[in-house]
Amino acid sequence: MSLKKSLLEHKLRVLIGLVIVVLLGAYWYHAKASADAPKYTTATIKRGDITSAVQATGTINPLTTVAVGSFVSATVQYIFADYNTRVKSGQVLAQLDPTYIEAQVLQARASLQNAKDNLVTLAANVQADNAALAKAQADLKYQTATAKRSQDMFTAGIVSTDANDLTQSTLSQSQANLQAAQAQLQQGQAQLQQAKAQVTQQEGALDQQLTNLKYTTIVAPIDGTVVSRSIDPGQSVAASLSAPNLFSIAQDLTRMLLNAATDESDTGSIRVGANVIFQVDAFPNEQFRGRVIEVRLNPTTVQNVVTYNTVIDFSNPDEKLLPGETAYVTIPTGYAANTLEVPNGALTFKPTLSRDQQQTLFKQYNISREASTTHLGGWQTVWKLSPTDNSLIPVAVQTGITDNTNTQLLQGDAKEGDEFVTAAQTAVVAAARGGPGGGGRGFGGPGR
């Protein structure tokens, strides 16, 4: 082979090698640039139906629950009702030992009889005092007339001074006797009134003991079902401080209440009369329906979380649902048919731009302060991609109700079929890690 031909062949090989190196370098640069460029996930605006709802948990309770207690202290003698017993108003639930109360009734009756006997005696004494007063009044009248005659005769010189003085002294004694009889009568009348009051007091004490004896029989105050019993035969019931709770009776289990704890941010959208759907663990494949009857004003605060009690009324004709069960409640708060829907991811997406860059874009595309900052009136900022350079463009939209997946689009520079950014991600390709050779291998070693 000639020297010239050999040089031409080596030159061709070198040229081909340089071309390969240039191509590999261009590929590596392009791969690295593509890996560093942000990639976005988008979602399409479409039409559909949106139902907004409030989610909460609550407890099922009877419509009315009455706690049956004991007014007296005694020992439980008999029990005639147990858990789940259906009772009628006035039906005997339990019997307390009446022995001690019966003894008190006998004592009260004896005290009453003693007071009545004392009243009869004092009434007789008052009658005797009246008679003594009448006798003293008659004697005074006679002595007054006698003293007047004696004084006239003494003036005429017929009666001696001694005889006249004796007559006047007798008159003074009759006057004193009359005053004493009057005082005795007044004292007797006062004792008689006191005896009458004592009789009334003893009658009240007897009525009290008879009432206590009646309370030793525990009866049902309403028709219903016994849901709890807290006593056993032989147990002592002490009612000295407060009435102990012996039974709890649910009035009607065919109509019940659901008390749901709703967050304070949801109370503004809950309306009285709204239809409610709820489920319980006992019947996971069934849905039950009720109606909101009130949102109680008394807040409950637990670890700085404020909730309000939303009361839901529902029918339980088969008595399938039991008191105390936990219910998972859905309260519809709004409905929009065939409306534009924007995915919630587009509303929560925040671009990785500086504050100054965002403010520049907001000013360039006339984004209002409500949409960019305050969000008053439901205005939000969403982002779409420029068709030319794939850059982010802000769009102001006004939103309505949401179902926690999509949100109603009321107005704004958006129409059906538009795509908005929901997330951003940066893909790292193997060429960017391992060099132009690709495959993730560096310096001939296997990559992990």
Q: Are residues 370 and 417 in the same domain?
A: yes
**In Å, how far are 85, 277, 283, 284, 405 from 328, measured between CA atoms?**
29, 8, 12, 10, 19
| pLDDT given at position 31 | 53
Backbone angles phi, psi at 443, to 5 degrees: 55, 35
Question: What confidence score (pLDDT) does residue 39 get?
Answer: 79
Q: Would you state the pLDDT for residue 75?
A: 93
Q: Say if residue 285 is in the same domain as residue 328.
A: yes
In a shared domain, residues 202 and 106: yes
CATH at 395: 2.40.420.20
- Residue 384, domain member (yes or no): yes
For residue 414, what pLDDT is reported?
87
Three-class secondary structure assignment of the chain: CCHHHHHHHHHHHHHHHHHHHHHHHHHHHHHHHHHHCCEEEEEECEEEEEEEEEEEEEEEEECCEEEEECCCCEEEEEECCCCCCEECCCCEEEEECCHHHHHHHHHHHHHHHHHHHHHHHHHHHHHHHHHHHHHHHHHHHHHHHHHHHHHHHHHCCCCCHHHHHHHHHHHHHHHHHHHHHHHHHHHHHHHHHHHHHHHHHHHHHHHHHHHHHHHCEEECCCCEEEEEECCCCCCEECCCCCCCEEEEEECCCCEEEEEEEEECCCHHHCCCCCEEEEEECCEEEEEEEEEEEEEEEEEEEECCEEEEEEEEEEECCCCCCCCCCEEEEEEEEEEEEEEEEEEHHHHHCCCCCCHHHHHHHHHHCCCCHHHHHHCHHHEEEEEEECCCCCCEEEEEEEEEEECCCEEEEEEECCCCCCEEEEEEECCCCHHHHHCCCCCCCECCECCC
- Of 400, 396, 370, 391, whose CA–CA distance to 381 is shortest? 396
150 in the same domain as 116: yes
Domain-embedded: residue 164? yes
Q: Specify the CATH number for the domain of residue 280.
A: 2.40.30.170
Q: Which domain holds residue 163?
A: 99-215
Judge if 229 and 90 occupy the same domain. Answer: yes
| Distance from C-alpha of 347 to C-alpha of 343, rounded to nearest angstrom | 7
Of 315, 274, 269, the residue nearest 293 (C-alpha):
274
State the pLDDT at residue 6. 59
**pLDDT value, residue 113:** 95
Shared domain for 390 and 293, answered yes or no, is: no
Q: Are residues 112 and 200 in the same domain?
A: yes
Same domain assignment for residues 133 and 183:
yes
Last residue of a domain, one of 322, 339, 356: 339
Residues of the chain below pLDDT 70: 1-14, 17, 19, 25-38, 241-243, 426-448
Domain membership flag for residue 180: yes
Q: Determine, yes or no, domain membership for 1.
A: no
Are residues 211 and 103 part of one domain? yes
- Cα-based angle 22, 28, 32 (whole degrees, multiple of 5): 145
Asked if residue 446 belongs to a domain, the reply is no
Q: Which residue has the tokens 């007559």?
A: 167
Q: Is the Cβ–Cβ distance between 396 and 367 less than 8 Å?
A: yes
Which residues are within 8 A (CB) of 280 and not within 5 positions of it... i.e. 6 or more apart?
Answer: 60, 288, 321, 325, 326, 327, 328
In a domain, 200, yes or no: yes
Residue 440 resides in a domain:
no
Same domain, 333 and 406: no
Instruction: Identify whether 405 is part of a domain.
Output: yes
End-to-end CA distance of the chain: 49
Domain stop point among 339, 370, 393:
339
CA dihedral 136, 142, 146, 147 (to 10 degrees): 40
Q: Which residues of 387-418 are buried (b: 16+ CB within 10 A; e: fewer)?
A: eeeeebebbbbebbbbbeebbbbbebebeeeb
In this structure, which amino acid lies at residue 131?
Answer: A
Q: Could you tell me if 366 and 415 lie in one domain?
A: yes
Which of 289, 309, 339 is the last residue in one of the domains?
Answer: 339
Query: In angstroms, how far is CA 46 from the centroid of its own chain?
Result: 42
Shared-domain flag, residues 365 and 284: no
State the total domains in the chain. Answer: 4
Q: Phi and psi of 226, rounded to 5°?
A: -75, 120
Reference 266, options 54, 51, 57; nearest CA is 54
pLDDT number for residue 447: 35
